[in-house]
Amino acid sequence: MTLFIVTAINLFVLAPYNALGFDTGIPYGDDCQRCSEYGICSQDLGPREAESAIDRYFSSRGLAAANKRHKGRFIEADIYRDNRLIDKVIFDRKTGRIRSTY
């Protein structure tokens, strides 16, 4: 019975959601290019370096980052595809990790 309910939810709720293109294609916990593969930077990125890393990361994927807000060691940014907001992310200047806030 539980398997039936899970399958029904997937078919009637999640499948149409993904079919409409709501998947941002942004992997959770991805790293900027300046840090190691484990998300450890040798030095904290400065605010301008971090904004530049965010711009490079998303522009290489055909997306645009805008409305960057600094909050301590974190930078929040809105991510756009074709002038349409598709995600909001947070960038950790200490580790170089990028995560969706949704």
Six token digits for residue 7: 């399958």
pLDDT at res. 65: 93
Q: Is the pLDDT of residue 53 over 60?
A: yes
Chain length of the chain:
102
43-53: average pLDDT: 85
Q: Residue 70: pLDDT band by 50, 70, 90 thresholds?
A: very high
pLDDT at res. 97: 85
The conformation of residue 73, written as its DSSP 8-state character, comes to T
Residue labelled with tokens 């399958």: 7
What is the C-alpha to C-alpha distance for residues 19 and 33, in angstroms, rounded to an integer? 31
Burial 30-60 (b: 16+ CB within 10 A, else e): ebbeebeeebebeeebeeeebbebbbebbee
56-83: average pLDDT: 92
